Amino acid sequence: MLDPILNLAEKFFVKFLEFAPIFKMVASAFISMMTVHEGAFSSMNKALFLDRDGVVNVDTHYVGRIEDFEFIPGIFDSLRAAQEQGYILIVVTNQAGIARGFYTEEDFLRLTEWMKDAFLKENILIRQVYYCPFHVDGVVEEFKGESPMRKPNPGMLLQAKQEHDIDCAQSIMIGDKESDIEAGKRAGVGCTVLVTQDKSLGTSADKVIASIAELPDCLGWIKG
């Protein structure tokens, strides 16, 4: 009863052996093609690094609670546009308010989850929110002191680069303070954008815009 099946299997196996060298050749050609074009297949991310206060939300000083959080007009459309152009969205925010005891780390984390959910409802994925709770003048002992993560130091961006396989040269840092711009430059970010109403402000940023709402135009400028 099994004979026909075994016969068929044997025939198949013999045929397979005949064609094996061809399979091997095709497979090795494919592998070498993949290797030659490794760069083309590698999937490094380009990121839009966002400062939070003054860029994502209105900066009313030390915003640590949901009830104090107000999105800046245009933020959703702008981030959706960046996302559609292939940027992953990473928030990098100094949170000295934690060190200063104005709100707790738990308050901040609760607000962050709420903020990420609000973005998700708008089909915007914030990949990660990096924050630095330290400050030299902190009153909360645990967070008193200097930190390589606190902008203008580039620590948060460099950590994001590692954790999300980011090509900084292809990335953008957007912030409303010169310390954001400096952090971006020190991390090797290719384009830095300062958000300010004050056009007379001296800055080393590559681009100055009045609001995050202008970001979509800016993306065209960066691409061009």
Give whichever of 176 and 178 is closer to Mg ion, judged by the CB atom. 176
Helix (H) / strand (E) element for 216: namely helix 215-223
- Give me the amino acid identity at 8: L
| 182 is a contact residue toward Mg ion (CB under 5 A) | no
Residue 48 CA to residue 167 CA, distance in Å, equals 11
Residues from 26 through 85 that contact Mg ion (CB under 5 A): 51, 53-54
165 part of the active site? no
Task: Tell me whether residue 53 is one of the annotated catalytic residues.
Answer: yes
**Minimum distance of Mg ion from residue 42's CB (angstroms):** 33
CB of 52 to Mg ion, least distance (A): 7
What b/e readout covers 159-192, taking b as 16+ CB neighbours within 10 angstroms? bbbeeeebebebbbbbbbbbebbbbbbbbebbbb
Question: Which C-beta is closer to Mg ion: that of 102 or that of 170?
Answer: 102
C-beta of 177: minimal distance to Mg ion in Å? Answer: 5
Token pair in block for residue 121: 């409802």
Phi, psi angle pair for 64, to nearest 5°: -125, -5
Residue nearest to Mg ion (CB): 54
- Residues at the site binding Mg ion, with contacts judged by CB under 5 A: 51, 53-54, 176
Q: Catalytic site residues?
A: 51, 53
